[in-house]
Structure formats: structure tokens, C-alpha cells
Amino acid sequence: MDYLPLGNTGLYVSRLCFGAMTFAEPEQKYMAWLGNEGQESADQMIGTALEAGINFFDTANIYANGASEQMLGKALAKKRDDVIIATKLYHPSGAGANSMGTSRVAIMREVEGSLERLGTDRIDLYQVHSWDTTTPIEETLRALDDCVRQGKVRYIGLSNFAAWQIAHADGVARLHGTERFCSVQAYYSLVGRELEREILPATKHLGLGTMIFSPLAAGFLSGKYTDTEDTGDTVGRRSRFSFPPVDPAAGDEVVRVLREIGDTHGVSPSQVAICWLLHQDGVTTVIVGARKHDQLVDNLSAIDLELSDDELNRLNEVSQQRPEYPQWMPSLERAGDPAAAIKHSAKVAIS
Ligand SMILES: NC(=O)c1ccc[n+]([C@@H]2O[C@H](COP(=O)([O-])OP(=O)(O)OC[C@H]3O[C@@H](n4cnc5c(N)ncnc54)[C@H](OP(=O)(O)O)[C@@H]3O)[C@@H](O)[C@H]2O)c1
């Protein structure tokens, strides 16, 4: 397993992160379609992840109504000092008007709840799950800063922000001298490359770490939904893929190439899809999701897979997205542009 610093911090995280969104008890009905295999299965999966060298674990207060945090905390109890635990807040934890969001009230309440459920005295990475349209970002940052100063939280991160919101939040934190977000958790896969347009350029420019979620587009890229013997209920199965949304025709093409490349290496389409993400510039860690132990074992092997430049190019081509304005505007920096050549030589002379 390789490890990279999370953005501009000194914290090293494994290139694969373990996602605990599937953890729930068998009797739990809330979001049970994601998984509810119970504590024994969670312990087994965490044991396997640790053996593979994973030191980074992601959950959220909302997953299985808090049960995911509880089960993850239990499974990691004996290894607490060796691991980085990330959790999140934003979504409703109750019914009241202040039960959701990232106000000072919500943050101070939710941090205590997560600490208790995780059975720990600190959260290594506390992430805002979504941009709060009604709370000023100054209030959110000040409250998170207080959590860091109280020792309850070590680092702060964000998720599901637009690029302008990421840049704005970072600017506000610098202006007021509060803790800065160090990481962005966002969706990125071979059937969803929107991140490349604005968010990855922003994270690279600001020096933020990136944690990629739903690397298989919720299982679509495993190929099991396009298996010829498995197409009986294609519409029903595909209706699941509204989160993240998948264009079925384009997606089938991607899966075809994943399968071909996987076959030449004797590995699954899932491994190829995760390996492609690990090769993308600006990706710090890929959060692997698994409902069952054998899926986890399969996904973890992506770390050992080596793809050739030709194979990576094939995957890039089959998943190419249409450029959006202003990306299709000719760049001053393009080769042969006399103005760019003058600017470039001036920069070289100055440095
Ligand atoms: N910040 C956010 O808003 C956000 C959103 C989503 C997820 N996340 C984080 O990202 C993590 C991963 O997300 P995700 O669960 O959507 O990841 P994913 O890898 O795209 O999908 C995981 C699901 O795909 C199926 N699967 C996984 N590996 C497989 C394999 N090798 N072969 C066949 N099927 C396989 C399983 O579902 P089935 O068995 O049911 O098919 C599994 O639960 C989560 O645990 C969470 O920590 C964050």
C-alpha cells in the first residue's frame, strides 16, 4: 500500500480508503439496500482492510442513522491509534429545525454524537457533507475551528461543494485565520468525470487532498449489471443508478473496455476501474465501497494492478466527456502561440 499526504497537511493516508457506508445491523431498515450485514461482517472487512495496509476509514453521522459510526468504532477499537477516522455532518439527525446543516449549534451537537458513537476522544478528519445554503461559511469555519482547538477534531474537510464554494471557503478561512479545509470528498468515476472540469483544478491549485467516492458508480462498473445473463430486469436494475447517475449506453461501452482490459490481466472490471482512478493526477485516495467481504477483497487488489499507457489511454478515450465552456476556448498557453512564448520566456527569466 502506498501513502500520500492529505493535501497540505503532514497526515499520510493510504491510497485506498475504506468506506463504511454499507455498515448496518441486519434488523435496520433505514437505507438497508446499501447493506446490513452486521458487526461480525464489519469486523471481518475491517480486519482485511487493515491487513492490506489501509489506515484511512470514512463514515458519516447519517449512515444507517449512526450505526455505521458505532460499528466502525467497535471494529477499530483495538487499532485506534494506528488509523485515521473520517466522519461527516450536515444531513438531518432528527426532526427539529436545527437538526441539519452546519450551523454552530449543529456542529457542536453532532461532533459530540459522532465522538460517542465512534467510541473515541477525537475525530481525525471532520467533514462538512454538503454546502449549507443557509449558514454563513464564516460561522461554520469558526465552529469547526473551535472543535479543532478543543482537541475534538484534528483536521477538517468538505464534500460535495462546487469549485467556487471550495475556493470561497478557503479564502474566508485564510482571511479570518481559522482552520482551513484540507480535503475534498467528491464523486469521480469512469462514468462520471465532471470533477475534472472545475473541482480537480481547484483542489490542485489550493493544495487540497481529494478523496474519491463511489469509484464503481455504486457498483455499475463492476460489470454485473451488464452481464448478458443478468439483463432480465435491466430497467429495474438500472433505475438504481440515479445516485450517481449513469448514462446506460455510454456506461456499457466503458464496461466493455474494462472487461477486455481486465480479461488480459485476469482481474475484474472493478479492479481496472479503481486502478484507473489511482492513476489520475490530483487523486489522493479512492474510497472503496463493499457490501460483502469478497467484494472488498476484489477491490483491494486494484492496488497491485499495473495498467499500461495504452490501456489507460483506451479508458480515457471511451469515457471522454464533452468539453464545457470555457475549456474549449483556445488557451494562451497552447504550443506555437507567440504571446504564450513571450510570457513563458519572461517567467523563466524571472525565476
Ligand atoms: N460524500 C458523499 O456524499 C458520499 C456519497 C457516497 C459514498 N461516499 C463514501 O464513499 C464510499 C464508497 O461509495 P460507494 O459505496 O458508492 O462505492 P462504489 O464502489 O461505487 O459502490 C460500492 C457498491 O458496489 C458493489 N460492489 C463493490 N465492489 C464490488 C465488486 N468488486 N464486485 C461487484 N460489486 C461490487 C456493492 O453493492 P451491491 O453489492 O449492492 O451491488 C457495493 O456496496 C462510501 O462507503 C462512503 O464512505 C460518500
Predicted pLDDT at 272: 98
What pLDDT, in 10s, does the model give residues 74-107?
999 999 999 999 999 999 988 889 999 999 999 9
What pLDDT, in 10s, does the model give residues 199-233?
999 999 999 999 999 999 999 999 988 754 444 54
Predicted pLDDT at 50: 98
Catalytic residues: 63
Query: Is the minimum distance from the CB of 226 to ligand 1 under 6 angstroms?
Result: no
Q: How confident is the model at residue 333 (pLDDT cuts 50, 70, 90)?
A: low
3-class SS at 108? Answer: helix
Query: Is the minimum distance from the CB of 58 to ligand 1 under 6 angstroms?
Result: yes
| CB atoms near residue 163 (< 10 Å) | 18
Predicted confidence (pLDDT) at residue 34 exceeds the cutoff of 90: no
- Centroid of ligand 1 to alpha carbon of 225 (angstroms): 14
Place of cell 482551513: 180
Mean pLDDT of 133-152: 98
With the CA atoms of 270, 275, 281 and 283 taken in that order, what torsion angle do they form, in degrees rounded to the nearest 10? Answer: 70
Q: How confident is the model at residue 315 (pLDDT cuts 50, 70, 90)?
A: very high
Average pLDDT taken over every residue of the chain: 92
Predicted confidence (pLDDT) at residue 305 exceeds the cutoff of 70: yes
Domain ranges within the chain, ordered by starting residue? 3-350
Predicted pLDDT at 239: 54
Distance, CA of 88 to CA of 168 (rounded, Å)? 20
For a substitution probing ligand 1, which of 287, 292, 294 has the most ligand atoms within 8 Å of its CB? 287
Query: Is the minimum distance from the CB of 295 to ligand 1 under 6 angstroms?
Result: yes
What pLDDT, in 10s, does the model give residues 245-281?
998 889 999 999 999 999 999 999 999 999 999 999 9
Place of cell 476484489: 298
CATH code assigned to 3-350: 3.20.20.100
Q: Is the pTM of this model over 0.85?
A: yes
Within the chain, strands assigned E span: 3-5, 12-14, 16-19, 56-58, 84-89, 123-128, 153-159, 181-187, 209-213, 285-288
Predicted pLDDT at 351: 53
Mean pLDDT of 153-171: 98
